[in-house]
A = this chain, B = another copy of it.
Amino acid sequence: MVGYAHRRKTREKARALGSGFEVADSLEQAVSSADLVLLASPVCTFEAIFKDMASHLPDQCIVTDVGSTKVQIHQWAAAYLPKGVIYVGSHPMAGSEQSGLEYARDDLFERALCLVTCRKNTPDWAVETVSRLWKTLGCRVKCLLPDQHDRIVARISHVPHVMAASLMNASHPDDLFYTGKGFVDTSRVASGPEEVWTDILLTNAQHVSRGIDKTIAELTKLKAAIQTGRRSRVMQLLNQAREKRAKMIQDKISRKELY
């Protein structure tokens, strides 16, 4: 295992932490004898990294990543990686709003879902290898097409992020003194690093925009019912939300994702 980070400081920290892998001092050195390369930087850095790596990657090398959108990355991979190199997308649905080597955890992937993406012409053996990697780390793996992936994660991850950020931005600083656990939880993901999230939202603009529209439509429905005092309508909308969530939680418990 060879690690590489573009900041010298991060590489020094990794060496100091004695992370059990060699730390290379250049991208070339890091990838030139790799069977599998795993990128873990903001999505929009991948275009340049693919270009920089291209001439150093061994034939039959697999490139994967932990980026949160996939259509754009598959396009860059097709455009910039050499023919003998295979790109397979990975999106392990784990992590927290914190970032940096010091927040590393060896149980991060246990029972987490990892979405693996490939195109119709991606060789099965490469998809298999990447899936096995995540399973070994404790993940459950689901394979999706890139566009299918981006549509789903827009709704379950990117739109919630936009909502949490909008909730924070709509709130008056003086009110934040009064917030309780509900607000803290509802807004939690808004603490994610904005460089990472800007890339995610910009590389999934269409699906995210559509998801925001849908959420605004639901907010508007509830607002209309509240403003006109239609008790049974408000009750029905809240009941629908509660039951949908209860089913989601129940399903997660039965799959041992939650306890």
Residue A73 interfacial (CB < 8 Å): no
Partner of A209, one of B162, B166, B182, B227: B227
Best-buried of A96, A155, A249 by chain B (most CB within 10 Å):
A155
How many Å from the CB of A227 to the closest CB on chain B?
5
Tell me the count of chain A residues lying within 8 A, CB to CB, of chain B: 89
State the oligomeric state as a number of copies.
2
Is B94 within 8 A of A180, CB to CB? yes
CB distance from A107 to the nearest CB of B (A): 13
Q: Which of B182, B209, B217, B231 contacts A188 (CB 8 A)?
A: B182
A185 CB contact (under 8 Å) in B168, B188, B238, B242: B188
Asked if A215 contacts B180 (CB within 8 A), the reply is no
A183 CA / B252 CA spacing, docked (Å): 12
Which of B175, B218, B244, B258 sits near A184, CB closer than 8 Å?
B258
Is A49 in the interface zone, CB < 8 Å from B?
A: no
CB pair A160–B176 under 8 Å, yes or no, is: no
Determine whether A248 belongs to the interface, using a CB cutoff of 8 Å to chain B.
yes
A248/B176 in contact, CB under 8 A: yes
Q: Does B184 lie within 8 Å of A237, measured CB to CB?
A: no
Q: Give the CA-CA distance A205 to B229 in the complex, in Å.
A: 8
A241 and B164 contact, CB distance less than 8 A: yes
Interface presence of A216 (CB below 8 A): yes
| Interface status of A246 (Cβ within 8 A of chain B) | yes
A113-B178, A169-B241, A213-B223 given; 20 more Cβ-contact pairs under 8 Å: A112-B180, A153-B178, A157-B182, A157-B183, A169-B221, A170-B215, A170-B217, A177-B251, A182-B189, A185-B186, A191-B249, A192-B242, A194-B235, A201-B222, A201-B226, A202-B234, A205-B229, A208-B226, A209-B223, A212-B219
